[in-house]
Amino acid sequence: MDDDKKSSLSCSCASGYDTTSFIDLTHNKLVSELRTVTGKLTLNDRFDHFLARWGMNRMGHIVKPGLYKMGRPNADSPVLVSANYTLSFDAVRSALAGTDCYILVLDTKGVNVWCAAGKGTFGTEELVHRIAWSGLSSIVSHRNLILPQLGAPGISAHEVQRRSGFRVEYGPVRASDLPEYIKTRKATPEMRRVQFSFKDRLVLTPVELVHVALPTLVAAIILYLLTGPLAALAAITAVLAGTVFFPALLPIIPTHDLSTKGLILGVIFAIPFAISFAANPIMPLWTDLLKSLVPLLIMPALTAYLALNFTGCTTFTSRTGVKKEIYRYVPVMVLMAGSGILILVLLGAIWLMEVI
Amino acid sequence: MFDSYLENTLLYYPQKCINCLRCTQVCPHGVFAEGKEHAELMQPAACMECGACVRNCPVQAIEVQSGVGCAWAMISAALRGKGMDSGECGCGGEQMSCCGGGAKESFSNREEMSTPED
Ligand code: SF4
Ligand code: SF4
C-alpha cells in the first residue's frame, strides 16, 4: 500500500516483519506483514510524545498501519484496534504490557482515535479493509475485535460484522482500563464515561500556546515599541490567561459557556493592568480612566476568544452549543476589542497633539 | 440563561428500539441507559452530538446532527464564505488542530478524570 510505504516514521519499538511465526500461525498462508511490538516505552517514544504534546512535527507521530503482535499470542488471543498516532498506539501497548494479544492499527493519518472517528478515517471502511488486508481471519480463530469506545462515532459495529464477519466490541474509554476489561470483557459505567481531568486539560496547554506564540510575540513587540513594557506584558498575560489558565481552571470558573468563562478570567487578569494604567499622577483623571478602560476591554475579549476556541479540545461541547456561543459572544468580543482599540487610538492622537 | 449547551439535535424514537444496548455502550456521556423494554434517554442535555449512538444503532432509533464542536473550524469556515457546518475539525491539519494534541485520546492513559459539568 502506498500509504504504508510513505509512513517511514514507524514506531521505534516495531522490530519489523515477522513472517516465520506468522506463517506457522496461518497455516502457511502468506499474508502481508505481522509486526512485533512490546509494551515497553523507550526514551525515544517518550521524546516523540513530548514533541506531539508541543505540536511539533504534527504529522510525524505515526506508526505503520497493519497488524502487530505483543508477547506470544495464539489463535485465541484478543485483537485490539487502534489508530496510527503514536500517542494512541503507545497508550494501548503500554497499558497491555505483559498481555499476549494482537493490535490492528488503522490508517488514521496520524490522528488520534476520537478525532479520526469524527473525521471518518477511524471508520467502518478502513476497519473492514484492514481486517482483510492483514489476513486477520486466518490468524485468529475467533471473530471478535476490541475497539476503543471513542472510535464509535466512526464505526458502525453491525456494518463491520455484516461485511467482515468480525464482531465489534467496544472496550473502555481509557487504555488504563484495558487489562481489567480484557479479564472480564465488561466495561463498568465508569469505564464508559469520558472525563476531562486537570491533567488532561494541562497537557493540552503547550499545543494551544504554540499556536498563538508567533502572533503574540509580534503584538507584544509592537506594543512595547509603541507604549512600553506594561502594554506588551498585558498582551502576553491575556494570551496566557486564554491558553494556559483557562484550560487549567475550566471547571472552577463560574458560568457554563466557555466564552463567558473566558470573559470572567480576562477581566480578573485585566484589573491589575487597569489599576497600573490609571495610576499616573501627571495625567488628567479622564485620560487615566480611559487608559484603564483599554485593558478592561481588550484583554477579556482576547481571553474569551481563546477560551471559545478551546471548544475543539474539550470532551463535551456539542456543535449546536458552539454555534450558539459564536452567535452570542463573538459580536460582544468584537465590540469590546474594537472599542478598546478605538480608545487606544484616541489616546495616541491626544498624546501626539500634546507632543506637537 | 447563559448556557448554550442546554439544547441539541438529539432525537430518540423508543418505539423503534430493539433494546440491543449499543447506545449505552458507545455514549461517552451516559446519555442512554438500560431500560426494561427499550433504552432510556437519561440526560439528553449532556449529548455532545458525537454521532456514536446513531452510527451504531442497528434500527435507526436515534437521530442527531453530528459534527465537530470546534469554534475555530466554524469561524474559519464562515470567514472563508462557507457555511459554518462545513468547517472540518482542524485535526491533522498543518497549521491548527482543534484536537491534534491528543485531547480526545481514546484508549489513552488518562487517569482519575472529572467532566466539568458545573
Ligand atoms: S451523539 Fe454521542 S453524546 Fe450524544 S447521545 Fe449519541 S453517543 Fe451520546
Ligand atoms: S442502539 Fe438503538 S436499538 Fe439498540 S438500544 Fe440503543 S436505541 Fe435501542
Q: Do B110 and A192 touch (CB under 8 A)?
A: no
pLDDT digits (tens, 9 = 90+) for A162-220: 999 999 999 999 999 999 999 999 999 999 999 899 999 999 999 889 989 999 999 99
Ligand nearest to the CA of B44: 1
Q: Do B98 and A312 touch (CB under 8 A)?
A: yes
Chain B residue with the nearest C-alpha to that of A149: B26
CB pairs under 8 A between A and B: 273
Confidence check: pLDDT of B104 > 60: no
Q: Do A196 and B115 touch (CB under 8 A)?
A: yes
Q: Do B89 and A326 touch (CB under 8 A)?
A: no
- In the sheet with A144-147, reading across from the earlier edge strand, the strands are A34-37, A66-70, A101-106, A79-83, A144-147, A167-170
Instruction: Evaluate: CB of B22 within 6 angstroms of ligand 2.
Output: yes
Residue A309's pLDDT is what?
A: 93
The fraction of chain A above a pLDDT of 70, given in percent, is 90
Residue A21's pLDDT is what?
A: 38
Confidence check: pLDDT of A1 > 90: no
Q: Do A176 and B109 touch (CB under 8 A)?
A: yes
Question: Which of A67, A205, A89 minimizes the C-alpha distance to A145?
Answer: A67
Residue A144's pLDDT is what?
A: 97
Pick B28's closest partner by Cβ from A87, A150, A256. A150
Nearest CA to ligand 2 atom 2: B57
Shortest alpha-carbon distance between residue A238 and chain B (Å): 18
Which chain A residues are closer than 8 Å to B66 by Cβ? Answer: 153, 319
More confident residue, A257 or A6: A257
**Does pTM top 0.95 for this prediction?**
no
**Which range in A335-349, B12-26, B93-107 is most confidently predicted, on average pLDDT?**
B12-26
Spell out the residues 6+ positions from residue A316 whose beta carbon is closer than 8 angstroms to its own. A194, A196, B5, B29, B46, B48, B115, B116, B117
Distance CA A98, CA A214 (A): 44
Mean pLDDT (chain A) is 88
Confidence check: pLDDT of A56 > 90: no
Rg (CA), chain A: 26
pLDDT digits (tens, 9 = 90+) for A135-171: 999 999 999 999 999 999 999 999 999 999 999 999 9
Confidence check: pLDDT of A23 > 50: no
Pick A323's closest partner by Cβ from B74, B88, B117. B74
| A185 three-state secondary structure | coil
Residue B102's pLDDT is what?
A: 38
